Structure 1
C-alpha cells in the first residue's frame, strides 16, 4: 500500500483528501479537497467542495522559494557594495546613497558603465562580481528566479551544495506555521513531488467535479475537475490540520469584541428599519 495516496473506485463519491485535476491549454490545474466528509455525507457543503491548489515542486521553488531566497541574498550582498560606493562618492564630495538608489543606478546604467564610473583597476574583483550579481537579480529579465540564483551563485561565492540544502530544509521543515505542505509524490505530472498551497483556497460546484476523467468526458465536460487519487488518512489529516492551524482564530481584545457587537446591532437594525 502506498504511504501517500491510493486509487479509488469510480463509483465512490468525492470525499476529503481527494486529489482533483482539471485539464487546460494554459496548464493542468490540481487541487486537494478539504471539505469535511461529514459535511459532504449530510449535504452540508451547500453544493460546493472546497479545495486547495497544488503545484509541481519545480514551479513552487521557482515562483516562491527562489524569490524569497533572492531577497535574502540581495540584503546580504548589497551591504559591502553600498559601503564601497558611498566611500567612493564621499571621496568625490558627493552625497551618499541608500540601497534602493544603488540598485536603481546599477540597473539604469548597466554593469560596465557603473564600474567604469566608480572603479579603478586596483579595486577588488570581488566587488565587481557583487555588482554584476546585483544587476542580474535586480534587472527585469525573462530568466526565471531559479536561473538567476544559479547564475549569481559563483559571483557571490555561494555554494551550490548549501543552496540545495537550504531548499531541502525549506521543503521539509516542520516548525512554525508554514503556508504550504510538501507532498513527495502524486500521479501524472506530480510524480516528482508537489506542494499544496494552504492559502490558495477555492471552491467547485458538484456539477463541475467528477469521480474520474471518463465520466467527465461521457458528460461532455472535458474541462471539469475529476479525481485522480485520494490521500491516505494520515497525510490527509496532516494537511487539513496545518491548514486549520494557519487560519486559527486570533483572540481579540474585549474592546474590539464590544465594538463589533455594537456595530453589528446598529447595522442589522438599520437594515430591518429600511426593509420595514
Structure 2
C-alpha cells in the first residue's frame, strides 16, 4: 500500500534545528499567530551562529483562520461597495444631502435600517430598496465567530432587495475567491495540507507576519521546563524552498511614494494628449 503524501517529514531528536522545522507552542492558549510556526532562518545562519540565538519564523494558520482573516475582508469590501453605490444613487435621486461612504457604512451598524430610512425621509419603493441596502451592509459587517458564519452572512446579504442574484450565484461569488486562495494563493501565502502528524486539516503559511523565538526556548528532544516551543516536524525541502522564495519576493518589492506615482501618471497622460 502506497504511503500517503504529506508535505512534512518526521524528525529525530538528534537532528539539529534547521530551516523548515515546524514548532508548536507549549501553551495551548497561544494566539493563532504564534500557535504553529515555520522556521525560515537559513541553515548557514544556524551553522555559524549568525542569528544570535533569534530564530525567525512565519505563522502557520489553519485554512479557516487564514481565509477569515485575509480573504473574507476582500469579499466583504466588494459587496459593501456595491450597496454603497446603490445607496448614493438613491439619495441623489431623492435630493437627500450627500453622505460619505464611511459614514453610511458606520450608520448601518449604529441604527436599525428602518430608523435610518425614516431619518432620511425616504418613502415608497425607494425606501424599500434603500432599507434592503442598509440591511445588507449591516449583515455583512456583523461580527461572526467562524468561516461558515462569514460565508452564510455574505451570501444572505446578497439576497436582500430587488434584483438580487440567485442563491447559487450569490454563493459562487463568495466561494470562488476562497477556493482560488488554495489553487492560486497570493504571493504572500502558501497552502500546506498537513504540517505534522494529526495536523492535516489544511494550513496556510502567511509570509507577511514574522515571529522570533529564542533558540534556548525551543525543545527538539527531551522536554525542558523553560521551553516555550517544541519541534514537531520538518517541512520537506521542496516546499520549504518554495516558501522561502515567496518570502524573498514579498520583501524584495520596493514601494515608491504616491507623489512619484501621481507624477508618473501625469507624464503618461501628457504623452497621450500629444496624439489626440
Same fold (TM over 0.5): yes
Task: Decide whether the 8 Å contact of 2:75 with 2:174 is kept in 1.
Answer: no
User: What is the CA–CA distance in structure 1 between the aligned matches of 2:107 and 2:128, rounded to whole Å?
Assistant: 20
Structure 1 stretches lacking a partner, 5+ long: 253-276
Gap change, CA 1:188 and 1:130, over 3 Å in 2 = farther
In the superposition, the TM-score normalised over structure 2's length comes to 0.76
Task: Decide whether the 8 Å contact of 2:195 with 2:235 is kept in 1.
Answer: no
Give 3-state SS (helix, strand or coil) of 1:200's partner: coil
Task: Decide whether the 8 Å contact of 2:114 with 2:131 is kept in 1.
Answer: no
Aligned twin of 1:198 = 207
Task: Decide whether the 8 Å contact of 1:171 with 1:182 is kept in 2.
Answer: yes
User: What is the CA–CA distance in structure 2 between the aligned matches of 1:47 and 1:100, rounded to whole Å?
Assistant: 46
User: What is the CA–CA distance in structure 1 between the aligned matches of 2:118 and 2:197, rounded to whole Å?
Assistant: 52
Measure how far apart 1:38 and its partner are. Answer: 1.8
Measure how far apart 1:40 and its partner are. Answer: 1.2
User: What is the CA–CA distance in structure 1 between the aligned matches of 2:125 and 2:255, rounded to whole Å?
Assistant: 60
Question: Comparing 100-109 with 200-209, which one deviates more in the overlay?
Answer: 100-109
Gap change, CA 1:119 and 1:188, over 3 Å in 2 = farther
Task: Decide whether the 8 Å contact of 1:70 with 1:149 is kept in 2.
Answer: no
Residue 247 of structure 1 pairs with residue 257 of structure 2: no
User: What is the CA–CA distance in structure 1 between the aligned matches of 2:91 and 2:141, rounded to whole Å?
Assistant: 17
Task: Decide whether the 8 Å contact of 1:115 with 1:128 is kept in 2.
Answer: yes
Aligned twin of 2:230 = 226
Measure how far apart 1:203 and its partner are. Answer: 1.9
In the superposition, the TM-score normalised over structure 1's length comes to 0.76
Measure how far apart 1:123 and its partner are. Answer: 3.9
User: What is the CA–CA distance in structure 2 between the aligned matches of 1:116 and 1:250, rounded to whole Å?
Assistant: 50
Q: 1:168-190: CA deviations, max 9, x gaps?
A: 1123325xx62222212223674
Aligned twin of 1:133 = 136
Measure how far apart 1:144 and its partner are. Answer: 5.3
Task: Decide whether the 8 Å contact of 2:117 with 2:131 is kept in 1.
Answer: yes
Residue 57 of structure 1 pairs with residue 63 of structure 2: yes
Q: 1:135-194: CA deviations, max 9, x gaps?
A: 22345x4655762442241331452133222101123325xx622222122236741111
Task: Decide whether the 8 Å contact of 1:185 with 1:191 is kept in 2.
Answer: yes
Q: 1:236-260: CA deviations, max 9, x gaps?
A: 10000000111126499xxxxxxxx
User: What is the CA–CA distance in structure 2 between the aligned matches of 1:246 and 1:135, rounded to whole Å?
Assistant: 35
Give 3-state SS (helix, strand or coil) of 1:227's partner: strand
How many residues are treated as equivalent by the alignment? 240
Gap change, CA 1:189 and 1:123, over 3 Å in 2 = farther
Residue 237 of structure 1 pairs with residue 241 of structure 2: yes
Aligned twin of 2:13 = 10
Measure how far apart 1:113 and its partner are. Answer: 1.5
Aligned twin of 2:164 = none
Residue 209 of structure 1 pairs with residue 198 of structure 2: no
Measure how far apart 1:69 and its partner are. Answer: 1.7
RMSD across aligned C-alpha pairs, in angstroms? 2.7
Question: Comparing 101-110 with 234-243, which one deviates more in the overlay?
Answer: 101-110
Residue 47 of structure 1 pairs with residue 53 of structure 2: yes
Aligned twin of 1:263 = none
Structure 2 stretches lacking a partner, 5+ long: 160-168, 257-276
